[in-house]
Structure 1
Amino acid sequence: MARHMVWLCGLLAALPLAAEAQIDLTTLDRGMTGPRAQVLVLGTVHLSGMPASFKPAALDSLLERLAAWRPEIVTIETEPGEECDTAARHPARYGADYCASTAAARAATGLDVPAALAEVDKTLKAWPAAPAPAQRRRLAAAFLAAHDPASGYVQWLQLPESERRAGDGLDAKLVDTLVRIAQRNNENYQLAARLAARLGLQRVYPVDNHTGDRMDVPDTKAFARSLEAAWAAGGGDEWKQRQKQEAILGAADDLLPLYRYINTPGSLKLLAEINVSASLRASSRDGYPQMFVAGWEIRNLRMVAYVRETFRERPGARVLSIVGSSHKPWFDAWLGQLQGVDIIDVASVLK
């Protein structure tokens, strides 16, 4: 009997203890030396869906408050050049249209995406305090060749009006691209790039990712129908009321109240529940809604990693991440778990 008990105790000791407490990683940065990074996540609507009456001036009040917070780094929801280049090298996996073509910028500058990315890094490391217009034009062209038109527009906005012309790598086609960007209803340009230029920053940082949520399913139309049905079932009257309120606020001349509304905990919680909870509850023969949730998590994890990379070498940086509001709960939660990082309450900035 005694031998049996010794054997049993030994076996139990070798098994993992299910009730063992996990290590609390949130306490590891207590007592850290130096400043902590401050990260502000701003949930945004996609301005491409705004009514025809939308004018960029409607963002002025919002821009004032964000500028007053004085971020040193601004991230945006679009794919980085490295990711676009990777996808282009794997068309069988990611398709031939993963990112827009940079052919025009390559023709003007002679730079493919890897060379353009290297040129941008090299240029910014030696960037002067008072760059000449020719330097800004050259850098804008390199950004366009590097799959980063928003940062190219940041440089364009900091040129005097008389210097916004072709030359130094910018040919007529690229100038036309930058002029058309100014007319586009896109938060990467009308919000992030305008803010960066106003603050004297040299660029914005693309952090989107779609390498993990491009579903390998036999019937993409069936996948879309299944997902839409799950969301419709999970929305209900509360979702309809949110859409109605968002439409009212989105038609105003000042969009600051809209941004306050879409960044409230209640609004964000509703989005999260429709995206994830409703998808996980949905009945589907192929499990498509559940697959979407897996892809959604992969996408957000990789986006958060991209954001972290922007201030890896800058402890204590002030970082503004502008992202579709449905991503904000994941950004807040996962960025908030990182060491030496504090999440700033967006309501305190927009008040």
Structure 2
Amino acid sequence: MGKTIFSKALPLLLAAMLCMPLLALSQRSLEKTEVLILGTPHLFSMEKFKPSMLDGVKEKLNSYDFDIICVEKMPGQLLYDISRRKDTAFNGLTRMQKHIKLADSVQSYLGGDFLASKAKTRELTSRELLTNKDRKDLLYHFVATTNIPAAVLQYKYLQQSPDVFTTEMDRYVSDFLKKRLSGNNEYFSLAVPLAFKKKLNTIEPIDNMQDMALLSKYYPSFVTDFKTHPEIIEKVMNSEVLKKSDSLTKEAVASNDLSKLYEFLNSEEYMEEDYDAQWKIWFETNFPSKSDMARYSLWEMRNLQISANIMDVVARYPNKRILVIIGSSHKSFLEKYLKQIESLNLLSY
């Protein structure tokens, strides 16, 4: 009789054992990478901006306990790609050349190249504990890959140990980074302090700024087309979303607190109204050259490329919590794309 019971129970037992890996797999599949797209004003253009205005914003963001932070900067490999093309259409991006020139100098100083420094950044950032020597090495390799925000982060860790900068090159590089640390923009006033507070080792660049260069290359008439339609500028400048943003900016400067402005820039209200004011308008302009539709298409292209770069970060940091700090007009486009990716969970600010 016992044998009969066992023979009946065996198929059930085997079925249960076979289901266990599936159950575990199902549980693992629920672990999604979390991403917050934080729309920000470009702080360098804000009159009378002070880093203390971000205290409330930083306090709120610190509560999310992010594992990685991304910023609106182009990755080094893309900068080198653009530079090596020697295409005059991309001359508007020449401000990036100083970072490449510095990177080349540091690569030569280290006796390596871009790929060697890239590999070294991956190795060093994966370590649980970094010595001052490790941080100095990491700083140099970040500069060699044009990742200046991440290099500034390492410099901030080493500020209390100035004796590590002993050579002439050390002093040149550290002086360069020190000046950037005091810069008023979202890299150094927001991303670096947040990463420093969470003891992170890197900041990831995820932008792709080729849209306007390509627009100029394909449609050199765009600027003329735009200037011959002053009603477009007037319509955008008189939009309610821009008026509210300007009003909140003035209030923020007066109160020394940007919290309300960031809440608005990350709201559904702002995303809908900003799209209507700045982007939907290109479906109404009807330029004979079609440069207006190209402007819209290339903006979508840029945001798709940014989304791809975000997914590259997601691939390297699976099941982590990621903060993307980017100009507020990008937010609705990035969320539109990223919402479709099953492995992601988008967070709200």
Q: TM-score, normalised by structure 2?
A: 0.82
Give distance in 1, aligned partners of 2:107 and 2:35.
35
| Alpha-carbon distance change, 49 to 248 in structure 1, aligned in 2, over 3 angstroms | same
> 1:125: how far off?
2.0
5+ residue gaps, structure 2, are: 1-24
What SS does structure 1 have at the residue aligned with 2:345? strand
Deviation at 1:228, TM superposition (A): 6.7
Q: CA deviation at 1:70?
A: 0.9
Compute the displacement of 1:186 (Å). Answer: 0.9
- Does residue 296 (structure 1) correspond to residue 292 (structure 2)? The answer is no
TM-aligned CA deviation for residue 254 of structure 1: 1.6
1:103 CA drift (Å): 2.2
Work out the number of aligned pairs and report it: 317
Q: Is the counterpart of residue 182 in structure 1 residue 185 in structure 2?
A: no
CA distance in 1, matches of 2:32, 2:321: 9
Q: 1:220 to 1:280 in 2, by over 3 A?
A: closer
Aligned to 2:113: 115
Q: Of 222, 225, 241, which residue of structure 1 is paired with 2:227?
A: 225
1:14 match:
none
| Residues 227, 279 of structure 1: 8 Å contact kept | no
Moved more, 162-171 or 54-63: 162-171
Deviations 1:238-269 (A, max 9, x none): 14522432332331312112211221211221
Match of 1:23 in 2: none
**Which sits farther off after the overlay, 312-321 or 241-250?**
241-250
1:244, 1:156 → 2: CA distance? Answer: 35
Look up the match of 1:131: 130
Which residue does 1:152 correspond to in 2?
151
Specify the alignment match of 1:19 in structure 2.
none
Partner deviation per Cα, 1:89-140 (whole Å, 9 max, x = no partner): 112165345223232343244169x923532432432454332222212211
Provide the C-alpha distance between the structure 1 equivalents of 2:286 and 2:340, rounded to a whole number of angstroms. 33
Q: Is the 8 A contact 1:81 1:117 kept in 2?
A: no
- Where does residue 312 of structure 1 map in the other structure? 315
Residue 47 of structure 1 pairs with residue 34 of structure 2: no
1-side partners of 2:27 and 2:181: how far apart?
A: 46
Structure 1 stretches lacking a partner, 5+ long: 1-28, 347-351
* Equivalent runs, 1:313-328 vs 2, <5 Å: 313-328=316-331
Work out the CA distance in 1 between the residues paired with 2:244 and 2:147: 33
The residue aligned with 2:334 is: 331
Distance 2:279 2:201 in 1: 37
- Structure 1 residue 341 displacement after superposition: 0.7
Q: Shift of residue 190 of structure 1?
A: 0.9
Q: Distance in 1 between matches of 2:224 and 2:26?
A: 49
Q: How big is the alpha-carbon RMSD for the aligned residues of Structure 1 and Structure 2?
A: 2.7
Sort the Cα spacing of 1:311 and 1:240 in 2 relative to 1 into closer, same or farther, 3 A: closer
Moved more, 92-101 or 311-320: 92-101
Please name the residue that 1:142 is paired with. Answer: 141
What CA distance in whole angstroms lies between the structure 2 residues aligned with 1:59 and 1:90? 39
What are the within-5 Å matches in structure 2 for residues 17-166 of structure 1? 33-52=29-48, 54-92=49-87, 94-96=89-91, 98=93, 99-101=96-98, 102-110=100-108, 115-127=113-125, 128-163=127-162, 166=165
Amino acid corresponding to residue 132 of structure 1 in structure 2 = T
Identity rate of aligned residues, in percent? Answer: 22
Contact 1:109/1:169, CA 8 A, preserved across alignment:
no
**Structure with the higher fraction of residues in helix conformation:** 2
